[in-house]
Structure 1
Amino acid sequence: MTQIKLCGNFRLQDVAYLNQVQPDFDGIILAPGHRRSVSRELAQMMRAQLASNIPLVGVFVNQSLAEILSYQGIIQYAQLHGQEDEALVAAIQAHGLPVIQVMTPKQQVSTQAAYRLVDAGAGSGQTFDWQQLTPSTTPTILAGGLNATNLEQAIHQGQPAVVDISSGSEINGVKDLVQMQILVEKVRKQVCHH
């Protein structure tokens, strides 16, 4: 069964929504300079208020090992969105923090990360041909332009382990409880076509 990650949450209000809809993962952006970036203090508060059964994924872009590991205890996964190499993946995981390694459809490489995330444009909200997903021994997270309209088709064609939705859970740039509920329900009631 495909799982669902709701990413780009940036308000404590979003955490209240997440606790209601119960996705499998919650993502927050810990790289500075993005519209949805959150501070360390906010990340700590979000983790404290988020249901304990929902892992918190921190998104990093070309940040140092020390900085990423400084979030240990707040986040349960580190998602690497820059040009991070496998040496960094290995180093982070050696410290007990599982990694989600991001790649594009054209550069699907093998990784020792816990998950690989295939995104057409690193958070650009662009979709790609989901049949381009190559088989991998690493569970695949599918991202990029997913929303309530195309989610079921994406799951059916790509058969990902996890679907990752950020802007698709928003109305006018803010997380929307109804959109989040619709997305989680669509994933929960999917029929397996295996």
Structure 2
Amino acid sequence: MEHALYHFLERHQIRHQRFDHPPVYTCEEAARLTPGLPGAECKNLFLCDAKGRQHVLLAVPAAAGVDIKALGELLELKGLRFASPERLQRYLGLTPGAVTLLAALNDSERQVAVVIDQELSRQHAILCHPLVNTSTLALPMEELLRFLDLTGHAPRLVAVPRRQAPSDPL
């Protein structure tokens, strides 16, 4: 899988920088083990509707808390929820901890919609796993958007609703 991704990037001359590192499973681990990489850190979520008929690959800034119920309403998807690891493997060929926008390459039947938070879309560059969690690629945003377009996954850019932090007691 990883080799097919690099072949695709080379064939389409998609600019990127690669950084290898120990496996990371969370945004917190990535920030601790790979500080200072040239791009915006993001959190990627694989979601589906209540009936499991529609799937969404979502990218938001790493520190963002997502209000999944409000996002479902915004996207007009009833009962939006986290998809199972089995669905993640079936639709994107990934395991938990390696979710990435670059997995759009694995969705040749175009069954997964890609949604990117507007705040993230305004960044100069973005950090993405190349289908494994032992490397990170830094891609200029315009290159990532071109990649997604080439895979048939032109993203929907939305203001993703944020989960409200609990207020501090007085």
Same fold (TM > 0.5)? no
Higher RCO (Cα < 8 Å, 6 or more apart): 2
Query: TM-score scaled to structure 2, two decimals?
Result: 0.32
